[in-house]
Amino acid sequence: MKNYKIKGIAMSCILFFFTQLHAQKFESLAQTPPMGWNSWNKFQADINEQLIKETADVIVSSGMRDAGYIYLVLDDGWMAPVRDEKTGDLVADPKKFPHGMKAIADYIHSKGLKFGIYNCAGTKTCQGLPGTRGYEYQDARLYASWDVDYLKFDWCYSDKQNAEESYTTMGKALLSAKRPMIFSICELGTNKPWIWGAKMGHLWRTTDDIGVQFDGYIDHKTWKQLSIMTMIDQQVGLEKYAGKGHWNDPDMLEVGNGLTASEDRLHFSMWCMLAAPLMSGNDLTKMSQTTKEILMNKDVIAIDQDPLGFQAFRYSNEDSVQVWFKPLQNDEWAACFFNRSSVTKNINFNWQRENVNDTLHKKSLPTASANFNLYDLWKKKNIGNTRNPLNVNLAPHDVLLIRLSR
Ligand code: GLA
């Protein structure tokens, strides 16, 4: 018996060693969707030391850190236009970051946060700064020496590169630098990263860039920014690719950047339903009370961070009203109803007649045999149970987000 046990342990050790040998990423990271702040949506390349330090301070003082927003990510624009002549290393822009990146990392870490940085798989970043192509291992070592915890890796100036190969190379480079970093694949969905991204990455962008727009898109002639609704449309069917340690990324949040309060609530609700990474993208130093209440609604964040790690599926889409469901731990569920149109819509949802079935995760909502209480996560109150039909009016662009529990 004893012998049998020892053999079992030895086998597990060998198996563990073998999987580590073949590991293509830091497996234990991003077990729930990563949360944090990224400089791009609000500031684009106009970033500097003072802004980043103030942002780090306010993440803590506002309560964002304690709500889970841990990763502070510097997007494009942190670098000098050329690599170091002698070493070939990337250099921080000396005007914007006079004390260099390690000093920024130390400051961010001193606040109990984690530090993220940006580059591109191509020869240049989207802003024309030095890209990583040909420098993958060198850049990974440099980031490790700066104590970087998260790398967002974009896809500009990648010309004829093969996406899967390029991201595999960078993933291996990060592993060999031996500092655990979340690897955020920002390939924009062109080469279907949801099919291969989980091998080397922890999240992958599924679309082009988001903009401050509710529906349709913002046309910049040579490129388009997508709206909240277009983003949501493009997530349908991708739920099977998401799970612990590997998430679909419908881009960073625009909450607090100019949408109405109900649009912001809808946007945030749906990102949480989708188990999307929650990277805030607003000016945290100037957040309104409404923005704070949205970004830090802990019950809504709990839907995103649910330990099962399931992405919601679209249950129905009729007459501009969509209904989405997401199974949660302990046999609870989240339900999201939203109104895409510009007129008020009446919702009449008879729980006893509907057949909510998540075939992917083999979970169904047993409203015939069990009674679920309905808790409105924005109004923070009970609104009935599943014995009775739900009957509510939804204002234009508004959302109803419910947690169902027995
Ligand atoms: C791309 C990305 C954005 C941002 C910019 C930076 O457009 O999709 O999220 O990183 O590049 O230039």
Over the stretch 332-377, which tens digit does the pLDDT of each residue have?
Answer: 999 999 999 999 999 999 999 999 999 999 999 999 999 999 999 9
Residue 12's pLDDT band (boundaries 50, 70, 90)?
low
Identify residue 377 by its one-letter amino acid code: L
pLDDT tens for 174-223 read: 999 999 999 999 999 999 999 999 999 999 999 999 999 999 999 999 99
Q: Please check the confidence at residue 1 and state whether its pLDDT lies above 90.
A: no
C-alpha–C-alpha distance, residues 80 and 264, integer Å: 35
How does pLDDT run across 287-332, given as a tens digit for each residue? 999 999 999 999 999 999 999 999 999 999 999 999 999 999 999 9
Nearest to 402 by CA among 383, 354, 317: 383
- Whether the pLDDT of residue 68 is over 90: the answer is yes
Identify the pLDDT of residue 18.
52
Mean pLDDT value across residues 9-28: 66
pLDDT above 90 for 86: yes
For residue 17, pLDDT beyond 60: no
Q: For residue 205, give the DSSP letter.
A: E
Does ligand 1 lie within 6 Å of residue 76's CB atom?
yes
Question: With bands split at pLDDT 50, 70 and 90, how would you rate the model's confidence at 23?
Answer: confident
User: Which residue's CA lies nearest to atom 7 of ligand 1?
Assistant: 209
Best CA proximity match to 118, nearest among 178, 198, 217, 36: 36
**Catalytic residue, candidates 75, 154, 251, 306:** 154
Is 154 one of the catalytic residues? yes
The answer to whether the CB of 186 is under 6 A from ligand 1 is yes
Yes or no: say if 191 and 374 are a contact pair by the CB < 8 Å rule: no
Residue 404 has phi, psi (to 5 degrees) of -105, 120
Return the percentage of the chain with pLDDT > 70, whole number.
95
Given a cut of 70, whether residue 4 has pLDDT beyond it is no
Q: Are 2 and 39 in contact (CB under 8 A)?
A: no
List the one residue out of 271, 398, 393, 379 whose CA is nearest residue 339.
398
The answer, yes or no, to whether any atom of ligand 1 lies below 6 A from the CB of 249, is no
Per-residue pLDDT for 20 more than 60? Answer: no
| Digit-coded pLDDT (tens) for 219-243 | 999 999 999 999 999 999 999 999 9
Which of 38, 75, 185 is the pocket-test mutation for ligand 1 (most atoms within 8 Å of CB)? 75
pLDDT computed for residue 313 by the predictor: 98
Using DSSP's 3-state secondary structure scheme, residue 137 falls into helix
Alpha carbon of 249 to ligand 1 centroid (Å):
13
Report which ligand 1 atom has the smallest distance to the Cα of 40: 4
pLDDT band at 8 (very low <50, low <70, confident <90, very high): low
Say what the pLDDT of residue 218 is.
97
Average pLDDT, the chain: 95
Q: Residue 27: what pLDDT? A: 97
Closest residue CA from atom 3 of ligand 1: 209
76 catalytic per annotation? no
- Quote the pLDDT of residue 10: 64
Kindly state if the Cβ of 75 falls inside 6 Å of ligand 1: yes
CA dist 364 and 345 (Å) reads 27
Alpha-carbon gap, residue 406 to 390, rounded angstroms: 16
* pLDDT at residue 15 is higher than 70: no
The confidence score (pLDDT) of residue 164 equals 98
Instruction: Tell me: pLDDT of 19 over 60.
Output: no
Mean pLDDT of 266-271: 99
- Confidence bin at 387 (pLDDT 50/70/90): very high
CB-side exposure of 236: number of CA atoms within 13 Å? 12
Q: For residue 84, name the pLDDT band (cuts at 50, 70, 90).
A: very high
**Looking at residue 11, what is its pLDDT?**
63
d(CA 265, CA 236): 20
pLDDT 10s digits, 95-113: 999 999 999 999 999 999 9
Model confidence at 21: pLDDT above 70: no
What angle, 0 to 180 degrees and rounded to 10, lies between the N-to-C axes of helices 193-200 and 163-177? 20
Tell the residue nearest (CA) to atom 9 of ligand 1: 209
Structure confidence at residue 6 (pLDDT): 60
pLDDT of 215? 98
Q: How far is the CA of 332 from the centre of ligand 1 (A)?
A: 37
User: Which of 119, 126, 188 to mutate for ligand 1's pocket (most ligand atoms within 8 Å of CB)?
Assistant: 126
pLDDT in tens, 125-152: 999 999 999 999 999 999 999 999 999 9
